[in-house]
Amino acid sequence: MSSDSSSTSGDEFTNPNPNSTSKSLEDQFASAALTEPDNEPPEIQESPNGVVNGSVGENNHGEIESNEREGAVGSNLEARQSARWRRTNSEVEVEAPSSPSSSGYAGERGSSSASGSSVGFEMMSGGIGGGDDVEIQEVSNVDSIQDSQASWVPGKRHVDEDDASLSWRKRKKHFFILSNSGKPIYSRYGDEHKLAGFSATLQAIISFVENGGDRVKLVRAGNHQVVFLVKGPIYLVCISCTEEPYESLRGQLELIYGQMLLILTKSVNRCFEKNPKFDMTPLLGGTDVVFSSLIHSFSWNPATFLHAYTCLPLAYATRQAAGAILQDVADSGVLFAILMCKHKVISLVGAQKASLHPDDMLLLANFVMSSESFRTSESFSPICLPRYNPMAFLYAYVHYLDVDTYLMLLTTSSDAFYHLKDCRIRIEMVLLRSNVLSEVQRSMLDGGMHVEDLPTDPLPRSGTLSPHLGQPRDSLESFREPFVGIGGPAGLWHFMYRSIFLDQYVSSEFSPPINSPRKQKRLYRAYQNLYASMHDKGIGPHKTQFRRDENYVLLCWATQDFELYAAFDPLADKAVAIKTCNRVCQWVKDVENEIFLLGASPFSW
Amino acid sequence: MASRRRMLLKVIILGDSGVGKTSLMNQYVNRKFSNQYKATIGADFLTKEVQFEDRQFTLQIWDTAGQERFQSLGVAFYRGADCCVLVYDVNVMKSFDNLNNWREEFLIQASPSDPENFPFVVLGNKIDVDSGNSRVVSEKKAKAWCASKGNIPYFETSAKEGFNVEAAFQCIAKNALKNEPEEEIYLPDTIDVVGRQQQRSSGCEC
């Protein structure tokens, strides 16, 4: 980007002048270049070993991707029909609204029937890395080709395994929840009861250290990390050989704990106070899918480490129209009204002064999307937003407006079902009348920002000329620099932009060469490492970071307004990459009306 | 519904070192016996599935070390136990005398809600040794002690020959079932709109 200052300067607080920021990025790198050797510090380079291991496990990701696509196309008709049919019956179902005594989840434990199917490649690439592994990996690669066609199967895998199984021991990433008496509550793989002995061992380790007035946070054993998180009477443990940073794994345990609270609230602590023998598993009955889906999202959803949410790109007026009707019902006693499409927000509104944390949104959306029962009827379920109030339940009215789009109305009143149903009918009518739902469908098909469309040097900022997301992409004069064959200009492959004030991020669509699920997962892992090192309390926080390894050039730039993460071709030129990042920031500014939810009251304070 | 639910029972095995706790476990879980003595370090953890009155139980067995130097582990290990098995050697008077200490120590450290009725089981092990000729604790004496402590069920076992081991553990499952707490309705609070003001100020940092 040229450093001429032709563009108008915006509000310094919400609209930092892109030219001034671009200068500062280049300046920062200019000075950094003097002190930094070209080779990155070893600890941030992925070892070749890790790359090989990582690449195999990535197949998991493919499954959800393809699941989403298939879900959108294949089951569309059927789901709608059944939804319509169920809707006429809904009053009957509601006669007995789910009481707070249930976990609020209608599924059955049996829904984890997918257990037998072998989708777990992670085991194949198990951390030992001996000669055997090579062979196994080849096998699993073959599997992955088939499996990536199939859907990601929700629910628990490999229930038949226990800690004596070789396959169980080879899995790359385990998650456990147990009580402080050592009783198993949840295990990602294997049957909890069969793992009772293993669970007891984990408790013994934690309790032994606690007895000495200390706390165990991390144990490294070879290339495995064992991460512990103690939350009162609940212990959470991750055992991983994925080489993710400790902070990331710990963050994932926090989210799993949050997911548990979302289902049960912190009142479970009281059960343990009254009765240390308390067995929590029945309370979580049927929620295996919720946890496995959350764990799966650790490898494809950047919201899990960015602690921000993302919006579906929509014309400003369209989002405004959705927001207006949500605001309307929020004024009638609804605490939060949220309209989402898959994991992307269309609009959301909170009652006066109520604020919603992005992590709560992530956990709520995961809960709703992973529970099949929400798709087929309108539901009213007690849920807890752990960042809002971990102690108590709210009630969520959930209704799917189409296959991917769902409305959530949260209230404090347990008998508000009929009121919320009326609200939903009103909202649905307005959304249909103002074409919001068809715009949502269109946006889903068009996708968001594509690196190939990154505009060249900023045009004069008169709205019409700046590239708009809503326009068909071929009408854009997309500029491609000659030196790259694939990706965007200057070898830009992908970027993520996180707005600090908005609590939102935008991520570019995946383009070649990041076009396979495994490459996408690998890139997310790389971003996650980058994020962790940028926010490292010991050596950070940092303002900029530039890494080059055999996979990418990664660039991160953090200001008090935003964080930008960008991935380039590993041969990309540093100076050009930096200029390109400035252009990305400019681009995001230009289209912020469409990619972000602006002026959403819940976040603005 | 509730009756079909599998139950997990945490079972703690206590007793002097060398009375055969680990051997009993091995006989029970793996149907194996070894004459060689191998001291347990800290604790061993075993899992055994048991069927009792058409209910499935998983016994999570905490085989603890008998040596005194491991006693400090107590609080952590005993927490949330469903049953405690006290083992002594019928050929060693001291191991029988110590049962009282083990029982009291357990009740202090585990502090169960109803200590009077906490389910214990007492096992007199090694009845096979020397065809019973070296025996120093009579069955009568042992049973009398058990009766005085609230009718603790008593079994004479031989880990070596596998005698009575199965029956002893069936009894553990039975006791746990008897002691099963009333299913309480899980009913957390609902957010109080009035109280929300407070919660926000303390809880929401975003």
Q: In Å, how far is A458's CA from the nearest CA of chain B?
A: 34
For A98, residues 6+ apart whose C-beta sits below 8 A from its C-beta are A104, A106, A379, A380, A381, A382
Which whole number is the average pLDDT over A564-573? 93
pLDDT at A387: 95
Q: What is the pLDDT of residues B112-136, one digit of tens each?
A: 888 888 999 999 999 999 988 999 9
Q: Is the per-residue pLDDT at A115 higher than 80?
A: no
Q: Is the per-residue pLDDT at A14 higher than 90?
A: no
Q: Is the per-residue pLDDT at A141 higher than 80?
A: no
Which of B47, B79, B190 comes nearest A181 by C-beta? B79
SS3 track for B127-159: CCHHHHCCCCCCHHHHHHHHHHCCCCCEEECEC
Q: Is the per-residue pLDDT at A282 higher than 50?
A: yes
Confidence band of A94 (pLDDT split at 50, 70, 90)? very low
pLDDT at A596: 95
Burial degree of A315 (CB within 10 A; 0-12, 13-18, 19+): middle
Q: Is the per-residue pLDDT at A86 higher than 60?
A: no
Least confident span in A51-55, A143-147, A229-233: A51-55
In words, the CATH class of domain A148-306 is alpha beta
Q: Note whether A207 contacts B77, CB cutoff 8 Å.
A: yes
Contact yes or no for A559/A543 (Cβ under 8 A): yes
Least confident span in A61-75, A351-365, A590-604, B191-205: A61-75
Decide if A182 touches B, using CB distance below 8 A. Answer: yes
Least confident span in A10-19, B76-85, B163-172, B183-192: A10-19
Decide if B73 touches A, using CB distance below 8 A. Answer: yes
Q: What is the pLDDT of residues A460-519, one digit of tens each?
A: 443 333 344 444 444 344 444 444 456 677 889 999 999 999 999 999 999 888 888 899
Which whole number is the average pLDDT over A166-195? 92
Confidence band of A217 (pLDDT split at 50, 70, 90)? very high
Decide if B42 touches A, using CB distance below 8 A. Answer: yes
Q: What is the pLDDT of residues B1-35, one digit of tens each?
A: 444 578 899 999 999 999 999 999 888 888 888 87
Interface of A with B in 565-594 (CB under 8 A): none
pLDDT at B63: 87
Least confident span in A530-534, A589-593, B190-194: B190-194
Decide if A200 touches B, using CB distance below 8 A. Answer: yes
The b-or-e profile of A146-176 (16+ CB within 10 A means b, else e) is ebbeebbbbbbbbbebbbebebbbbbbbbbb
A448-595 belongs to CATH 3.30.450: yes
Chain B partners within 8 Å of A355 (Cβ): 200, 204, 206
Side-by-side strand order, sheet with A562-568: A504-507, A492-499, A562-568, A553-558, A544-548
Which of B60, B61, B73 comes nearest A208 by C-beta? B73
Q: Which of B3, B8, B83 to probe the A interface (max A CBs under 10 A)?
A: B8
Q: In Å, how far is B117's CA from the nearest CA of chain A?
A: 14
Domain ranges of chain A: 2-129, 148-306, 316-445, 448-595
Q: Note whether B188 contacts A271, CB cutoff 8 Å.
A: no
Which whole number is the average pLDDT over A102-110? 34
Q: Note whether B76 contacts A211, CB cutoff 8 Å.
A: yes
Confidence band of A74 (pLDDT split at 50, 70, 90)? very low
Decide if B79 touches A, using CB distance below 8 A. Answer: yes
Q: What is the pLDDT of residues A247-272, one digit of tens each?
A: 999 999 999 999 999 999 999 999 99
Per the DSSP assignment, residues forming a β-bridge with A405 are: A341
Interface of A with B in 128-167 (CB under 8 A): 162
Confidence band of B53 (pLDDT split at 50, 70, 90)? confident
Report the range out of A39-48, A68-77, A78-87, A570-579 with the highest average pLDDT: A570-579
Q: Note whether A391 contacts B75, CB cutoff 8 Å.
A: no
Rounded Cα–Cα distance for residues B40 and A559 (Å): 57
Confidence band of A151 (pLDDT split at 50, 70, 90)? low
Decide if B1 touches A, using CB distance below 8 A. Answer: no
Which of A193, A277, A384 comes nearest B80 by C-beta? A277
ipTM tops 0.95: no
Nearest CA in chain B to A354: B200
Decide if B62 touches A, using CB distance below 8 A. Answer: yes
Least confident span in A307-311, A471-475, B140-144: A471-475
Which whole number is the average pLDDT over A235-245? 95
Rounded Cα–Cα distance for residues A466 and A460 (Å): 8
Q: Is the per-residue pLDDT at A211 higher than 70?
A: yes
Ramachandran quadrant class, A268 (left: phi over 0; alpha: psi -120 to 50; beta: rest):
alpha
Chain B partners within 8 Å of A390 (Cβ): 203
pLDDT at A24: 52
Q: Note whether B8 contacts A389, CB cutoff 8 Å.
A: no
Residue B63 has phi, psi (to 5 degrees) of -90, 105
Please tell me which residue, A384 or A330, carries the higher pLDDT value. A384
Is the bond preceding A513 in cis, omega lying within 30 degrees of 0?
Answer: yes
Decide if B179 touches A, using CB distance below 8 A. Answer: no
Q: What is the pLDDT of residues A358-408, one digit of tens each?
A: 999 999 999 999 998 899 889 999 999 999 999 999 999 999 999 999 999
Which of B5, B45, B191 comes nearest A389 by C-beta? B191
Report the range out of A138-147, B39-48, B52-61 with the highest average pLDDT: B52-61
Decide if B101 touches A, using CB distance below 8 A. Answer: no
CATH code of the domain made up of A316-445: 3.30.450.30
pLDDT at A101: 36
C-alpha torsion angle, residues A567, A572, A573, A577 (rounded to 10): -30
Q: Which of A109, A180, A181 to probe the B interface (max B CBs under 10 A)?
A: A181
Helices and strands counted in chain A (H then E): 19, 16
pLDDT at A250: 97
Burial degree of A189 (CB within 10 A; 0-12, 13-18, 19+): buried
Number of A to B CB contacts under 8 A, please give it.
150
Q: Note whether B46 contacts A414, CB cutoff 8 Å.
A: no
Q: Is the per-residue pLDDT at A306 higher than 60?
A: yes
Rounded Cα–Cα distance for residues A148 and A60 (Å): 8
Burial degree of B1 (CB within 10 A; 0-12, 13-18, 19+): exposed
Residue type at A471 in one-letter notation: Q
Q: Note whether A265 contacts B47, CB cutoff 8 Å.
A: no
Farthest-apart Cα atoms in chain B, separation: 76
Which whole number is the average pLDDT over A405-419? 94
Confidence band of A25 (pLDDT split at 50, 70, 90)? low
Q: How confident is the prediction for chain B on average, in pLDDT?
A: 83
Q: How many CA atoms does the CB half-sphere of A36 hold within 13 Å? A: 17
Which of B2, B43, B181 comes nearest A275 by C-beta? B181
Nearest CA in chain A to B7: A279
pLDDT at A600: 58
Q: In Å, how far is B148's CA from the nearest CA of chain A?
A: 26
pLDDT at A332: 86
Residue A81 has phi, psi (to 5 degrees) of -60, -45
Which of B80, B110, B191 comes nearest A394 by C-beta? B191
Rounded Cα–Cα distance for residues A239 and A175 (Å): 7
Q: How confident is the prediction for chain A on average, in pLDDT?
A: 75
Q: Note whether A387 contacts B204, CB cutoff 8 Å.
A: yes
pLDDT at A254: 98
Which whole number is the average pLDDT over A327-333? 88
Q: What percent of chain A has pLDDT over 70?
A: 68
Rounded Cα–Cα distance for residues A546 and A523 (Å): 15
Q: Is the per-residue pLDDT at B103 higher than 50?
A: yes
Q: What is the pTM of this model?
A: 0.77
Q: Note whether B10 contacts A277, CB cutoff 8 Å.
A: yes
Please tell me which residue, B28 or A109, carries the higher pLDDT value. B28
Please tell me which residue, A44 or A421, carries the higher pLDDT value. A421
Decide if B117 touches A, using CB distance below 8 A. Answer: no
Q: Note whether A203 contacts B76, CB cutoff 8 Å.
A: yes
Which of B8, B42, B185 comes nearest A279 by C-beta? B8
Q: Is the per-residue pLDDT at A145 higher than 50?
A: no
Confidence band of A568 (pLDDT split at 50, 70, 90)? very high
